[in-house]
Amino acid sequence: MSRQVLNRWIYLFLSVLPTISLFSQAKTNNNEDALFIRQIHDVALTEGRCYPWLHHLTKKIGARLAGSPQAAAAVEYTFQMLDTLGLDSVWLQPCTVPHWVRGEQEVVRIAQSDMGTVELRALALGNSVGTGEAGISAEVIGVMGIDELEKLGEAKLKGKIVFFNRPFDATKLNTFEAYGGAVDQRAYGASEAAKFGAIGVLVRSMASGLNDDPHTGGLVYKDGLPKIPACAISTNDAELLGKLLEKSLVKVYMRTACQQLSEKASFNVIGEIRGSEYPEEIIVVGGHLDSWDVGEGAHDDGAGCVQSMDILQVFKRLNYKPKRTIRCVLFMNEENGLRGGTAYADEAKRKGEHHVAAIESDRGGFVPRGFTVDGEAAVFAEKFPLMQPWHSVLEPYGLHIKKGGGGADISPLKPQGVLLIGFEPDSQRYFDFHHTEVDVFESVNKRELELGTAAMASLIFLMDKYGL
Amino acid sequence: MSRQVLNRWIYLFLSVLPTISLFSQAKTNNNEDALFIRQIHDVALTEGRCYPWLHHLTKKIGARLAGSPQAAAAVEYTFQMLDTLGLDSVWLQPCTVPHWVRGEQEVVRIAQSDMGTVELRALALGNSVGTGEAGISAEVIGVMGIDELEKLGEAKLKGKIVFFNRPFDATKLNTFEAYGGAVDQRAYGASEAAKFGAIGVLVRSMASGLNDDPHTGGLVYKDGLPKIPACAISTNDAELLGKLLEKSLVKVYMRTACQQLSEKASFNVIGEIRGSEYPEEIIVVGGHLDSWDVGEGAHDDGAGCVQSMDILQVFKRLNYKPKRTIRCVLFMNEENGLRGGTAYADEAKRKGEHHVAAIESDRGGFVPRGFTVDGEAAVFAEKFPLMQPWHSVLEPYGLHIKKGGGGADISPLKPQGVLLIGFEPDSQRYFDFHHTEVDVFESVNKRELELGTAAMASLIFLMDKYGL
């Protein structure tokens, strides 16, 4: 054997060693693990509390944008519910949040076109300024993306309303990829159009299909540029507007009454079961308690909140005593500020807390498909392989563990070396509901929601038992 | 090496050989296959026709029980749509079907109880006789299953209405298993109760959860026993009735106007692309065109029909010339007679047709999870292993190939040595809609439906290319 070959052989041998030992370990406890994961599912499907909790959060409280009275009610309600579970601690973690309000219902109207006047179904984008009481009126220039603006320049765009009309790519199997390929228009379109003197922006809704529901969502104004008002219009109306623009000049009138009010005091809601052997090792699971101000925030992200709470309830009901601390965190203000996620990571750093991993459920209450894992390169390289032996007990439930995104609220923990895990439900229907009036309780299926609780509880059980 | 060890080694070596060679074959064409399966998905998701076809079938035609004018309209509509695709043949295959009608809306009322009188949400079971105009009135005896009847005997049951109240087992991950564990009450409850002199039957709806929607579905009367009327009541009402029975005597009044009319002439609708190399080798894909007489038969089984039709449309659009004959069959009368499936198998046998495989889509238009395979023992043992190498190109789409049921309509082909394949979408939501007023177009998601088309087309492509 040449030295080179020998080195290579040693390298390969050593590199598979941890895998082998973990596989053996997993094999040893495979039956026991499988049995407990089966129990977790049985309890979640027969004694879960997530569904009635979601009913209250959506039907009795409703939409709960950060800073709103409903957000305060959601904090109080979930705090009280966690307090009924006999946890070791339940507390509120303060954070200050922006407070944006939509005001009177928006008007977006085609004021001049081949078809005459047409009312469009619209929602002002979150964080957008209002138009003023008189509204604005201007010719519409349609584009399929931000990159077309430069070529059009000030000559074509000054004084106009820019309409961003690039649809989702339907061939992406995962709708979050399609969303990722379109959402720059909503997030940055207003400032990019303002660069060239545009006075307003319309954006095709971030939706998988054609229908009448406009989708709101956050925009980000860039410093040093004029803040111009922006609205999303439904995909059906975007199709119509696009077709009218092919034929003739179109003028639109838009009026919005949005305002950014003073910041408000708010909270993350936290409950935990303290670890019996390694209490200082923390496993976080959470969702975000705030939602947009339309619909009921059922999938986004009431589902993730009640699942996270229910995981603790299921563990308590099974009388499971974790070795490590399992902490449920309901983050405030994911939608338009991420102040809750930031406050949580700041305090963790200040206190020198050691987080093993953080799981976020913020992709809807649909049937579970698995988990996507993220982290600083060294953390990922060390910990991701340790999770692979768990496939054998998770596969019967259709759950994979893949590389991929964690979640917005837990992302500030990444620089602290925390492994970030995104719970991944099936994505097909999410962008039918996301940020709309139809994201309501009735759009969530009880079993699908409960299976999400069980999937995350199963992974947490494995992380708690074997460590990471 | 001892003789024993040598024998074992040879055995092992030989037994893996076919797997190895097939894996290599699959590997050789892996990229090509993966590319074509990607194209199938792209076309299904962007140029699919299944969704607008389903819209017509559900909204313009609606519920279409065998023998009804709507079933005739569905035959004509799907025949005409297949005829637009430029197939090699489109034809109608005659069959005679039973013609059951519900008549005037059923009344099921708690006439005496601790709560006084309560109207229950009910649907007469398919094939049930009516009560006569005066209706029937009797004390209710609640049971959790057929096996309890014998113990109660004629002494307790004569002249009574028997109420079967065993719910779905929520811990079954696949809801079809839960259905399988409860449906004997609906199918055989009436005759089993009639044995002991009962005069009517109520059945808890075959549903995953608690709600107000009664689920109809077929019952089977046993020869030589009195035919007594039977209704399903909603799961919420079943809970109520169950609780009232714990406390006091309950009498129910029920009136139904169902009738079995004379048999009617009807058809299976068939279209095919003839194979270029092996035209005599037939691959069937189908669903059933009839539905129950409530709702719109969207998931059950409009979805399976339009997917099967769309598979041929996708192949034509891709200009795919199959080696083998690919045949779409829309079966008539799955719900209350299986006459279409029987007629199809009879004619195949008479003509000596050679079917490679038959796929049925009859589990709803939900997101695809894979396929379940069935067949006579020798057929299964020979062909199932040949499908395993296909996992590598199907897995990126989340599709498995497992042992399991085929489908009712294709089941009469089994004795002819045909491999039966059931398309398996996610099962969680199916029994929220199955046989109810809420099985309507709006309950089907466009992308989920289209992904089903793509999944089945992908499997058919592999079967066509590699044979079975």
B426 in A contact zone (CB under 8 Å): yes
Contact residues on chain B for A458, CB-CB shorter than 8 A: none
Cross-chain Cβ contact A429/B445 below 8 Å: yes
The catalytic position among B272, B334, B353, B450 is B334
Cβ-based neighbour number of residue B91 at 10 Å: 13
Nearest-Cα distance to chain B for A171, in Å, is 5
Give B-chain residues touching A426 at CB under 8 angstroms: 367, 426
Using a CB-CB distance cutoff of 8 angstroms, which residues of chain A are in contact with residue B46?
Answer: 170-171
Residue from the list A45, A429, A432 with its beta carbon closest to the beta carbon of B171: A45
Q: Tell me which chain A residue has its CA closest to the CA of residue B42.
A: A171
Provide CATH code, domain A21-99+262-466.
3.40.630.10
pLDDT tens digits, B98-136: 999 999 999 999 999 999 999 999 999 999 999 999 999
**Of the partner residues B209, B367, B397, the one whose CB lies closest to the CB of residue A428:** B367
Fill in the DSSP letter of residue A98.
E
d(CA B212, CA B236): 6
B220 contacts B103 by C-beta, under 8 angstroms? no
Interfacial B residues in 168-187 facing A (CB < 8 Å): 170-171, 173, 175
Whether B424 shows a pLDDT value over 90: the answer reads yes
Averaged pLDDT for residues B150-175: 98
Give pLDDT, residue A12.
Answer: 38
B398 touches chain A (CB under 8 A): yes
At B274-308, the pLDDT tens digits run 999 999 999 999 999 999 999 999 999 999 999 99
Q: Which of A446, A448, A450, A451 to mutate to test the interface with B (most CBs of B within 10 A)?
A: A446
Helical residues (DSSP H) of B48-126, grouped into ranges? 50-55, 69-83
| Mutation choice for A interface testing from B397, B446, B453 by most A CBs within 10 A | B446
Confidence category of residue B383, pLDDT binned at 50, 70, 90: very high
Chain A residues whose CB is inside 8 A of the B448 CB are: 428-429
Q: Grade residue A16 by pLDDT with cuts at 50, 70 and 90.
A: very low
**pLDDT(B333) > 70:** yes
Separation of alpha carbons A233 and A206, rounded Å: 9
Residue among B369, B428, B446 minimizing CB distance to A209: B446
Query: What number is the average pLDDT over the span A34-39?
Result: 98
Question: What is the rounded average pLDDT for all residues in chain B?
Answer: 94
Is A367 within 8 Å of B209 when comparing Cβ atoms? no
The per-residue pLDDT for range A161-197, each reduced to its tens digit, is: 999 999 999 999 999 999 999 999 999 999 999 999 9
**What average pLDDT does the segment B231-247 reach?**
98
Amino acid at B310: D
Distance CA B288, CA A415 (A): 56
Output the six-digit token pair for A164.
């961003």
Q: Is any Cβ of chain A less than 8 angstroms from the Cβ of B369? A: yes
Q: What is the percent of chain B with per-residue pLDDT over 90, rounded to a whole number?
A: 94
Task: Mark yes or no for CB contact A175/B398 under 8 Å.
Answer: no
State the smallest CA–CA distance between residue A174 and chain B in angstroms.
10
Q: Do A171 and B45 touch (CB under 8 A)?
A: yes
Asked if B398 lies within 8 A of A42 by C-beta distance, the reply is no
The CATH number that domain A103-257 falls under is: 3.50.30.30
- Across the interface, whether the CB atoms of B171 and A42 are under 8 A apart is answered yes
Asked if B45 lies within 8 A of A428 by C-beta distance, the reply is no
B139 burial class (0-12, 13-18, 19+ CB within 10 angstroms)? middle
B448 interfaces chain A, CB cutoff of 8 Å: yes
pLDDT at B20 over 70: no
Confidence grade of residue A14 (pLDDT, cut at 50, 70, 90): very low
Asked if the B26-100+262-466 domain carries CATH number 3.40.630.10, the reply is: yes
Best of B179, B235, B426 to disrupt the A interface by mutation (most A CBs within 10 Å)? B426
With beta carbons less than 8 A apart as the criterion, state whether A327 and A347 touch.
no
Cβ-based contacts of A46 with chain B (< 8 Å)? 170-171
Check CB contact under 8 Å for B447 and A367: no
The C-alpha of B363 sits at a distance from chain A's nearest C-alpha, in angstroms, of: 16
- Amino acid in the structure at residue A126: G
Q: What is the DSSP string of A280-340?
A: EEEEEEEEES---SSTT-IIIIIHHHHHHHHHHHHHHHTT---SEEEEEEEES-TTTT-HH
B454 — contact with chain A (CB < 8 Å)?
no
Q: Where are the domains of chain B?
A: 26-100+262-466, 108-257
DSSP string, B372-428: EEE--HHHHHHHHHHHGGGHHHHGGGT-EEEE----TTTGGGGGGT-EEEEEEE--T
Structure tokens at A338: 């991420």
Strands in A324-331's sheet, in edge-to-edge order, are A89-101, A259-273, A324-331, A278-288, A354-360, A419-425, A368-374, A400-403
Q: Do A46 and B428 touch (CB under 8 A)?
A: no
Residues of chain B positioned with their CB less than 8 A from the CB of A34: none
Closest CA to B287 of B87, B74, B458: B74
CA distance B299 to chain A (A): 16
Instruction: Looking at the complex, report in whole angstroms how far the Cα of residue B310 sits from the nearest Cα belonging to chain A.
Output: 17
A42 at interface of B, judged by CB pairs closer than 8 A: yes
B170 contacts in chain A (CB < 8 Å): 45-46, 447
Percent of chain A with pLDDT over 90: 94
Strand (E) or helix (H) holding A73: helix A69-83
Displacement of CA B22 from its chain's centroid (Å)? 33
Rounded Cα distance between A40 and A31, Å, is: 14
- Pick the residue of B367, B431, B441 with the most A CBs within 10 A to test the interface with A by mutation: B367
Nearest chain A residue (CA) to B175: A447
pLDDT of residue A207: 98
- Residue-wise pLDDT tens digits, A62-84: 999 999 999 999 999 999 999 99
Which pair of tokens denotes residue A155? 């000559």
State pTM to two decimals.
Answer: 0.93
How far B100 CA sits from the closest chain A CA (Å)? Answer: 33
Instruction: Report pLDDT for A67.
Output: 98
Residues whose CB is less than 8 angstroms from the CB of residue A292 and which lie 6 or more positions away in sequence, other chains included: A63, A65, A126, A216, A217, A300, A335, A435
Q: How many CB atoms lie within 10 A of CB A118?
A: 16
Domain B108-257 = CATH 3.40.1650.10: no
The answer, for A34 touching chain B at a CB cutoff of 8 Å, is no
Confirm or reject contact between A428 and chain B (CB < 8 A).
Answer: yes
The secondary structure element, H or E, covering residue B163 is strand B161-164
Question: Any catalytic annotation for residue B334?
Answer: yes
Res A18 pLDDT > 70: no
Distance of alpha carbon A292 from its chain centroid, rounded? 12
Structure tokens at A273: 């079961």
Alpha helical stretches, state H, B158-256: 175-180, 184-194, 235-247
How many other CB atoms are there within 10 angstroms of residue B407's CB atom?
A: 26
State mean pLDDT over A211-239. 98
The pLDDT, as a whole number, for residue A19 is 37
Residue-level pLDDT at B5: 43
Catalytic pick from A192, A296, A334, A335?
A: A334
**For B450-462, what is each residue's pLDDT tens digit?**
999 999 999 999 9
Q: So what's the pLDDT on residue B15?
A: 38
Taking the Cβ of residue A367 and every Cβ of chain B, the question of whether any pair is shorter than 8 Å is answered with yes
Q: Is the per-residue pLDDT at A351 higher than 80?
A: yes
Cα–Cα distance between B232 and B431 in angstroms, integer?
14
- Smallest Cα–Cα separation from A162: which of A180, A173, A147? A147
Instruction: Give the whole-angstrom CA distance, residue A99 versus residue B173.
Output: 43
Supply the pLDDT for residue A342.
Answer: 98
pLDDT at A29: 73
CB within 8 Å: B445 and A428: yes
Interface membership of A369 toward B (CB under 8 Å)? yes
Lowest mean pLDDT among A17-26, A47-56, A321-330, A400-409: A17-26
Q: Which residue of B has its CA nearest to A451?
A: B173
With cut-offs at 50, 70 and 90, classify the pLDDT of residue A11: very low
Closest residue of chain A to B444, computed from CA coordinates: A429
Band of residue B29 on the pLDDT scale cut at 50, 70, 90: confident
Q: Do B171 and A429 touch (CB under 8 A)?
A: no
Say if residue B28's pLDDT is above 50: no
Task: Locate the chain B residue with the closest alpha carbon to A173.
Answer: B397
**Residue-level length of chain A:** 468
